[in-house]
Every structure is written in structure tokens, then in C-alpha cells.
């Protein structure tokens, strides 16, 4: 997991600071991770509109 966070941080997709994680561009992270929300029961689409 640390390697994954490090790689994502190097790509500017996530930033960690102790107990805080920041995602500056949720859409870019979802694209990088090939995320598909079709299987979720909760709708996360509003998060992409922020």
C-alpha cells in the first residue's frame, strides 16, 4: 500500500500528510485506477461535480 500511495503521489494524484489524504483531482484518480462505479449502491457521481 505504501508503494501504491508513493506512485500515486509521484503522479500528483494523491497527497499524504500524516493522517490526512488529499485528492486534488478525483476524476483523474478514477481514470488512473480504471474505477467503475456501476457496482456501488451509493451514488458517488456528485463527488465528481464538486
**How many helices (DSSP H) and strands (DSSP E) are in the chain?**
3, 2
Map grid coordinates 494523491 to a residue: 14
Number of structural domains in the chain? 1
Does this model's pTM top 0.75? My answer is no
Give residue 42's pLDDT.
65
Which range of residues forms the domain containing residue 28?
Answer: 2-48
- pLDDT (tens, 9 = 90+) of the chain, 50 residues, equals 789 888 999 999 999 888 999 999 988 998 998 887 776 666 666 777 76
Amino acid at each position: 500500500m505504501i508503494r501504491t500511495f508513493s506512485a500515486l503521489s509521484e503522479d500528483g494524484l494523491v497527497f499524504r500528510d500524516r493522517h490526512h489524504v488529499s485528492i486534488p483531482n478525483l476524476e483523474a484518480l478514477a481514470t488512473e485506477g480504471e474505477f467503475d462505479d456501476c457496482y456501488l449502491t451509493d451514488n458517488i457521481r456528485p463527488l465528481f461535480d464538486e
